[in-house]
């Protein structure tokens, strides 16, 4: 549904810094305003974003666009991140401002994920399982609620490193992997590590989620990166429960961070020891 008439409308509205289009022709409008205003600024922010959005949508209607529209400033950050990652960007009026807003969205999503992890019910020490566990399965998990709090603080101090990852495609893949680690590994009891390992299958949920962030023409190249990350995460999750400490958890987050931008060609997911952290204690190095 996108055509040159809509580009002309975008050029006339400098407050619109990006426009995304869904597969069904719906447009998402990104304004230059912040997505997270302070409480004292919210009334003014709402008036300004409403006026800018109304003027732009009016221009779209004048150009005979009849599809649906949504303003990203008015959506939860998780929805904004999903649209930015999956919809096609049709207009990029201010790349610098768009990049800054994208970075703030990615950071907010990561922080929300950790807040959910923090409030999740901690694993019960010595809790019985439905099967007949061996001695290792009955061992207490070293990463308790206090450890998760310390891990959250460490992750926040590392935020400048996460947000400085280049190129932007690799940064999004790393942060999406972090979301999976927080939701499927750290928020789950240690006795349910099996489902997380199953997620790491060649065509498992993690691989599919990461592949969706990659354009069709780049899938073969970035698939090498995805397979390296999967292989290292599988090795990390198979460590004994007694070693699943805060250092181990930091190691999980550093695994995707340590994998570089893939190069075209044949790469083995298991034959490069330089890309595999063999000792979780190395994750305790200062950021």
- What are the tens digits of pLDDT across the range 141-182? 456 667 778 888 888 888 878 888 888 888 899 999 999 998
pLDDT of residue 118: 54
Residue 270 has pLDDT above 60, yes or no: no
- SS3 of 51-62: HHHHHHHHHHHH
Distance of alpha carbon 197 from alpha carbon 235, whole angstroms: 10
pLDDT of residue 128: 44
Mean pLDDT, residues 100-107: 86
Q: Which two tokens stand for residue 225?
A: 């990166």
DSSP letter, residue 122: P
| pLDDT confidence bin for 132, thresholds 50/70/90 | very low
For 176, other C-beta atoms within 10 Å of its C-beta total 21
What's the whole-model pTM score?
A: 0.48
Please list the residues that pair with 69 across neighbouring strands.
Answer: 27
Q: Tokens 């779209």, residue?
A: 60
Distance of alpha carbon 31 from alpha carbon 53, whole angstroms: 8
Q: How far apart are the first and last CA of the chain?
A: 47
For the range 172-177, what are the long-range contacts, defined as Cβ-Cβ under 8 Å and sequence gap of 24 or more?
Answer: 172/85, 172/106, 172/213, 173/210, 173/213, 173/214, 173/222, 173/225, 173/226, 173/256, 174/256, 174/257, 175/106, 175/109, 175/110, 176/209, 176/210, 176/213, 177/206, 177/210, 177/229, 177/233, 177/255, 177/256
pLDDT of residue 145: 67
Preceding omega of 168 cis (within 30 degrees of 0): no
Distance of alpha carbon 269 from alpha carbon 228, whole angstroms: 5
pLDDT of residue 265: 44
Residue 56 has pLDDT above 60, yes or no: yes
109, 127, 89: which is closest to 10 by C-alpha? 89
Instruction: Calculate Rg over the CA atoms of the chain.
Output: 22
Residue 32 has pLDDT above 90, yes or no: yes
Spell out where the chain has E strands: 16-21, 27-31, 69-71, 88-92
pLDDT of residue 187: 77
Q: Which residues contact 142 (CB under 8 A, 6 or more apart)?
A: 241, 242, 243, 244, 245, 246, 248
Exposure on the CB side of residue 122, measured as CA atoms within 13 A: 14
Residue 31 has pLDDT above 70, yes or no: yes
182-194: pLDDT as tens digits? 888 887 655 567 7
């Amino acid at each position: 549904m996108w055509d040159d008439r809509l580009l002309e409308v975008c050029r006339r509205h400098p407050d619109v810094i990006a426009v995304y289009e869904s597969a069904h022709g719906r447009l998402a409008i990104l304004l230059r305003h912040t997505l997270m205003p302070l409480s004292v600024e919210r009334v003014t922010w709402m008036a300004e974003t409403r006026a800018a959005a109304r003027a732009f949508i009016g221009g779209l209607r004048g150009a005979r666009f009849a599809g649906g529209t949504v303003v990203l400033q008015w959506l939860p950050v998780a929805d904004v991140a999903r649209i930015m990652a999956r919809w096609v960007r049709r207009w990029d009026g201010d790349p610098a401002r768009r990049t800054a807003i994208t970075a703030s969205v990615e950071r907010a999503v990561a922080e929300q994920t950790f807040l959910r992890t923090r409030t999740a019910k901690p694993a019960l020490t010595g809790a019985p399982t439905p099967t007949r566990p061996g001695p290792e399965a009955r061992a207490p998990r070293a990463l308790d609620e206090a450890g998760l709090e310390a891990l959250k603080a460490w992750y926040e101090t590392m935020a400048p490193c996460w947000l400085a990852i280049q190129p932007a495609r690799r940064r999004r893949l790393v942060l999406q992997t972090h979301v999976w680690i927080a939701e499927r590994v750290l928020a789950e009891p240690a006795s349910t590590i099996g489902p997380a390992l199953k997620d790491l299958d060649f065509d498992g949920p993690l691989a599919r989620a990461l592949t969706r962030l990659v354009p069709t023409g780049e899938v073969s190249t970035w698939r090498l990166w995805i397979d390296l990350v999967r292989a290292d995460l599988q090795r990390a999750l198979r460590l004994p429960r007694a070693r699943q400490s805060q250092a181990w958890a930091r190691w999980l987050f550093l695994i995707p961070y340590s994998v570089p931008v893939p190069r075209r060609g044949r790469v083995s997911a298991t034959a490069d020891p330089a890309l595999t952290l063999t000792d979780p204690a190395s994750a305790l190095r200062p950021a």
